[in-house]
Amino acid sequence: MVNWLRTSKTASFVLLVLRVWLGWQWLKDGFEKVFGAKPFDASGYLKGVIANPVKGPDHNVLYGPYNAFIQHIALPGSGFFSFLVKWGELLCGLGLLLGTLTTAAVFFALLMNFMYLFAGTVSSNPLYILVGGIILFAGFNAGKWGGDYWLIPWLRQAFGKKIGKETVNYNRGQ
């Protein structure tokens, strides 16, 4: 299955649809946070995470270290984390929508999804994780019908020699 995702031309079209859909979801959420009428502030959400941590069936807190991070680092730096969330969502969405630096965009989108889950926000995160995981497993093939078609070979040629990697021919006709 992973080999098919990484090499098949048919898979690249399926991935295009998934990538554009997921990119649009992230882009519209990020756009609202960056350019919305009301400035985005995550501090209320972070206070809610601290007040109502995720608990297991035994009523013990499941993600103690994560909650400590939220309480001692994220909440005091909520302005910085608000900036990271809103621009992270917007840029991940843009990268996925355009198929540019697709693997990096989906990696950071998945990272945000997992952080939201650890905070107790289920919402659409499981679906985004499923689709994002498929895109991540596909690697370059997920961005083949996007900006990665031109950008990745250029990056490999420009930087590949400096890090000892050989350049790869990414032919769409395979």
So what's the pLDDT on residue 16?
A: 97
* pLDDT, tens only, 89-135: 999 999 999 999 999 999 999 999 999 999 999 999 999 999 999 99
Residue 80's CB is within 10 A of a number of other CB atoms, namely 12
Q: What is the model's pTM? A: 0.86
Question: What does the DSSP 8-state code read for residue 143?
Answer: G
Cα Rg of the chain (Å, integer): 19
So what's the pLDDT on residue 157?
A: 86
Percentage of the chain lying above the pLDDT 70 cut: 92
The mean of the pLDDT values for the chain is 91
* pLDDT, tens only, 63-81: 999 999 999 999 999 999 9
So what's the pLDDT on residue 147?
A: 94
Residue 170: CB partners within 8 Å, gap ≥ 6? 140, 144, 149, 152, 153
